[in-house]
Chain A
Amino acid sequence: MLEVSGIDCFYGDVQVLRGLSLSLKTGEVLCLMGRNGAGKTTALKAIMGLVRARAGRIVLDGVDIGHLPAHEVPRQGIGYVPQGRRLFSELTVRENLLIGQMTRKTGPAALERAVHLFPVLKERMEQRSGTLSGGEQQMLAMARALCLEPKVLLLDEPTEGLMPSMIAAIRQSVIELKRHDVATILVEQRVDAVLPVADRVAFVENGTVRDTLPVEAVRADHGLIDRYVGVGH
């Protein structure tokens, strides 16, 4: 479904991704793990076209999306939940969701389905999104991305700074999406949040994927996590 092959990305003269490759199948949850600065967020931005890959290919369902303008990439069916949520904080909850819905002109039913996953948003539709709690903001960020009915969802540290009940809700929504054949790339530092939902784990180090393993193999070998993520994960 999604093939990323040997991409190089730079911020100015600094190379951040070095031949990074990964693949994703329909309905699969792939977790990217690695230390801060390893290149996980940049990998997601490169897929979204927000950071241009100077080499390599990014192909979604046979279409090379690596050369599309950034605003065309989500129209191919890729939803993005950025790190720190990046809501349009002065807009209401409804307006944020409408932005998601307008991306692929998916219609009101898509908005209804997204809100159905996070019912708390229904009571807050006219509230300014910047005034929501951290957990509610994360739910809105996910619902906004789901409004475009993505084939692939990119989640960048969705559990960052959330309390356990909110983390459980986010985890449940990823499981629900998987059931509907939505493939997900999940960037996470928290092992406990990842292992119950992931199918495979890709360990990113120094801008490249060092190892990609089934989640069972990761569960069995905690040394892997210590090596790639460090202690205190």
Chain B
Amino acid sequence: MTAAVLALMALGLSLVFGVMRVVNVAHGEFFMLGAVTAWAISHFVPGHPAVGFAAAFVGAPLVVGAVALGAERLVLRRLGHDPEATIVATIGLLFILQQLALTFFGPDARPVQAPFTYRVVFPWFGYSGYKLFVVAAAVALLVGAWFVLTRTKLGLVMRATQFDRETAQAFGIPVDTVYAAVFAVGAMLAAVAAVLIVPIQQAHYLMGLDPLLLSFIVVIIGGLGSLKGTMVAAVVIGLSDGVISVFFTPTLAKILGTLLVALVLVVKPGGLYGTAPR
């Protein structure tokens, strides 16, 4: 389950870097904002928890997408999407979002009720039906993202922009609009991942940091901008992080993940499925 959600979040990060060449250090905060917004929506929507969850599943990504769109317009575009300057800018954005969440949401972790508590019973053990739903939803979204990127005109436009911004403009592609859309969609993927995970992990204003580190590990190992690499690396890192955290410690899992990044950077700098830098 961790792998599936991580893949969604890492895909957002990878998409933003792949198309815009922007390393979005605030990506984890979009995840946090998704979780916090999901709590707020589900908290204020009356009725069965499933209704609140459904409202959050639709509403939280839209809110986060709008925040990302604003950030792209007000900050990244003004910096000309310069790779170095945007790193510093998104670090600033990270702290702004984090402190706003602390101010208005508070320091406490808050739960969101799962939409259902059905337990799937296998012959030898039982498993949470909601966790299986999370895996299925994440896989469906990943397949959808793959379809859009590889089989639609929108995906073609995004890939053309990724390869050569100037030539894309010379063929009528509004690059600034593509960048804004990609940044918003990247943040929305993080928000969707957060909405899926928040009934299991609870919403907290510092919850974006761990997934951010894991997402960077995934996209670097998989190859920046590579959808296939992101998915493969998410499964490897998600599973290994879970297993090592359970049998040893979460810290050891992060240390080993970071060492693996160093190893990949030495042996295959472009990542497992990445292309050589142009």
Contact = CB atoms under 8 A, between A and B. Distances in A.
A86 interface: yes
Given A86-B166, A88-B163, A144 B156 contact: no
B170 A74 contact: yes
B171 A95 contact: no
Given A91-B156, A95-B156, A71 B175 contact: yes
Contact of B167 (A69, A72, A86): A86
Interface string A84-108: 0010111100010011101110000
Contact of A74 (B153, B156, B172, B275): B172
Interface string A124-161: 00000000000000000000100010000000000000
B82 interface: no
A121 B276 CA distance: 26
Most buried by A among B166, B170, B171: B170
A106 to B, nearest CB: 11
A91 B275 CA distance: 13
A206 B275 CA distance: 39
Give the size range of B's interface with the partner. 10 to 19
A132 to B, nearest CB: 15
Interface in A190-215: none
B172 A71 contact: yes
Contact of A90 (B163, B169, B170): B163
Contacts of A90: 159, 163, 275
B174 A71 contact: yes
Interface in B162-182: 163-164, 166-175
B172 A91 contact: no
Contacts of B236: none
A144 B163 contact: no
B171 A144 contact: yes
B171 A91 contact: no
A170 to B, nearest CB: 19
Contact of A89 (B157, B163, B171): B163
Contacts of A99: 156-157, 160, 168, 171, 173
Given A88-B164, A102-B153, A70 B159 contact: no
B172 A103 contact: yes
A97 B22 CA distance: 28
A224 interface: no
Nearest to A49: B169
A38 to B, nearest CB: 21
Interface in B195-240: none
B122 to A, nearest CB: 43
Nearest to A72: B172
A50 interface: yes
Given A90-B275, A91-B156, A99-B156, A80 B170 contact: yes
Given A50-B166, A82-B167, A102-B153, A88 B160 contact: yes
B153 to A, nearest CB: 6
A58 B173 CA distance: 21
A99 B166 CA distance: 13
A95 B157 CA distance: 10
A165 B169 CA distance: 31
A75 interface: yes
Contacts of A48: 170
Contacts of A74: 170-172
B169 A50 contact: yes
A70 B169 contact: yes
Contacts of A80: 170-171
Nearest to A102: B153
Given A71-B175, A89-B163, A50 B170 contact: yes
A91 B159 contact: yes
Interface in A32-54: 48-50
B159 A82 contact: no
Nearest to B178: A71
The 5 lowest CB-CB distance pairs between A and B, nearest first, are A103-B172, A70-B169, A86-B167, A88-B163, A80-B170
6 contacts: A49-B169, A74-B171, A82-B170, A88-B167, A91-B160, A103-B171
Given A72-B172, A80-B171, 10 more contacts: A48-B170, A49-B169, A50-B169, A69-B174, A71-B175, A74-B171, A74-B172, A88-B160, A99-B171, A102-B153
Interface of B: 153, 156-157, 159-160, 163-164, 166-175, 275
